[in-house]
Structure 1
């Protein structure tokens, strides 16, 4: 769930490099469609999967479609805290009934709806690169004024490849077996609430590209229970739509989450509603004994100075000497 994505991460910029602090609890992308800016963490393997039922009724075609499907994601933090490898997709059975020449025709399709292999990279983390506002010891009013720092989001980029092979009925005529997908991801962490925005360009080298955005607001009611609302828009010559989703997730342990959700849209070509449920599980191979190292001699950032004052660097040197 996105409220679990509010981890502190340190970024590599230029000749400065650091190992960041990873999240203590799982940060699942479920049950919404958006992905947060933060990666799962170095050496963390995360599995996310769920099933759904989707009902579609097309007024112009007078067709009724029932879809039973499964979504899956495999996420892995590679080399650093800010890089994530990502494989996702869906497999579904689609049964459509439509009158043709006065006879009800039934069409049954079962295949992979999508498979996407990609990577996400965190470019900017305001928790690290934007200094916190200092307390004014002489002015209560100054300390109570609006903190503009809270409006600065974490920013990540995503790049991937759609993979539709074999004789797949979900592949349009003339569509390539491999096509690109890219996204700009922002994330605001506001206490118990998180706002995630995805700006997506999909299959933009094909004859019928798709563009869109996903905007997800999540609020933690308790440390274990959270609710979310989401708006998604599709812009394409083949399929354009606006969708709203809502749902909830419950954290059974720091590595295990369950979720339920639903969606509706705002048009009748087709009209849609969906219910879904799923789970997320994390295999945590992260090394908790890793400490932050600053390789830029003579010039540490503000967070690096704070860590040095707390003894992190000295502790790291002791660990090296012991080994």
Structure 2
């Protein structure tokens, strides 16, 4: 009873400044889309996995088979709304040779550094406290139709394998949207302009719907479309699952393909996400904003590739 009274007094005396940190790991995997929310200050997160791609594209420049691995590193610094990240991929491709046997190339195929910032965070009512009207308690909150908004900017560096080098650096920008339709159902929408300064520039969208089955399992479905310089489209569809092992460790697996008449492919990946959590929530006295304190947050835990549980 004393602990309950202390908790009530504590929450009444302080207000929380952070709304970015999640009590359990917030991973980009296994989908390709990205949430506008960062990992939180002093959180160091590693998201890695192996991928395999096989296609029957009949064009002369296609890669029939690809095997590789990638590492996505994320860290929160300076502000709760700000995240810095870096992605590196290494792969081995089978290259089609119309004059003889196929051959292979390998090396670092991608090295991108960037940052994202949460521009707008949508807030929702806590309807569990609505005791006067059952209808109001279960009614859909129309605010959930308005997404939280983030922006991303990145640079593709040219420190790549000799077979993957470009003419120079190129740039990537994105608008990241997230709708929390419920505590279990989340919609992510990414609008992307990639390799902006190169001849291979393209524009794309990614729409991902994620649903938490329970505290440990979630699954997603995803649609991605790309539009190149000649406005030729490329669409793909993916699905996968994630399993929360601990609050700091997630396992995942996914697959995706397309349904084109001229060719089709299968892309499969499996991996995990792990974070080193050094985050501390900051509080201030309501009547004395200059006085601050920090504490480790309570670990209540609910599975969240959904991709956050915001503190209000």
TM-score category, normalised to shorter length: 0.7 to 0.9
Match of 1:89 in 2: 88
Q: CA deviation at 1:52?
A: 1.1
Distance in 2 of aligned mates of 1:207 and 1:66? 25
1:66-103 alpha-carbon deviations (Å, 9 max, x no partner):
11110210000011111000101311000134433xxx
Mapping of 1:50-129 within 5 angstroms?
50-61=49-60, 65-100=64-99, 104-127=100-123
Q: Which has the higher contact order (CA 8 A, sep 6+)?
A: 2
The answer to whether the aligner puts 1:170 opposite 2:143 as a matched pair is no
Which region of structure 1 is more displaced relative to structure 2, 179-188 or 147-156? 147-156
Checking the alignment, whether the CA contact within 8 Å between 2:28 and 2:35 is kept in structure 1 is yes
Q: Distance in 2 between matches of 1:292 and 1:268?
A: 60
Change (3 A) 1:140 1:44: closer
Aligned to 2:8: none
RMSD of aligned alpha carbons: 3.0
CA contact 2:107–2:160 (8 Å) conserved in 1: no
Check the 8 A contact 1:229/1:245 in 2, yes or no: yes
With the length of structure 1 as denominator, give the TM-score of the two structures: 0.77
Structure 1 96/84 Cα, relative in aligned 2: closer, same or farther at 3 Å?
Answer: same
Q: TM-score of the superposition, structure 2-length normalised?
A: 0.79
Residue 119 of structure 2 is aligned to residue 150 of structure 1: no
Q: What is the DSSP-based 3-state SS (H/G/I as helix, E as strand, rest coil) of the residue aligned with 2:144?
A: helix
CA contact (8 A) 1:70 1:92 kept: yes
Q: Which residue of 2 aligns with 1:301?
A: none
Residue correspondences, number:
277
Distance 1:164 1:282 in 2: 28
Cα offset, 1:250, TM superposition: 0.3
Q: 2:216 aligns with which of 198, 221, 224?
A: 224
Aligned to 1:34: 33
CA shift for structure 1 position 237: 3.5
Equivalent residue number for residue 201 of structure 2 = 209
Which whole-Å CA distance do the structure 1 matches of 2:292 and 2:80 have between them? 23
CA deviation profile, 1:38-80 (whole Å, cap 9, x unmatched):
0000000000000011101113449661111102100000111
Distance change in 2, residues 1:146/1:27 (3 Å): closer
Query: Could you give the per-residue CA deviations for residues 124-182 of structure 1, whole angstroms, max 9, x where no partner exists?
Result: 0012xx7779999987766665431111111000000011236632345xx3x211100
* Distance across 1 between alignment mates of 2:199 and 2:20: 43
Q: CA separation of 1:30/1:205 partners in 2, compared to 1, >3 Å: closer, same or farther?
A: same
SS of 2:56's partner is: strand
Rounded to whole Å, the distance in 2 between the matches of 1:206 and 1:64 is 22
Q: Which moved more, 1:19-28 or 1:267-276?
A: 267-276
Structure 1 residues 256, 146: closer, same or farther in 2, change over 3 A? closer
Deviation at 1:185, TM superposition (A): 0.2
In structure 2, what is the equivalent of residue 249 of structure 1? 242
Question: Taking structure 1 as reference, are residues 210 and 168 closer, same or farther at Cα in structure 2, changes over 3 Å only?
Answer: farther
For the residue of structure 2 that corresponds to 1:197, the secondary structure is: strand
Q: Distance in 2 between matches of 1:282 and 1:270?
A: 39
2:271 to 256, 266, 278: 278
In structure 1, stretches of 5+ residues that fail to align are: 1-16, 294-307
Name the structure 1 match of 2:303. Answer: none
Shift of 1:273: 0.3
- Shift in Å, 1:105: 3.0
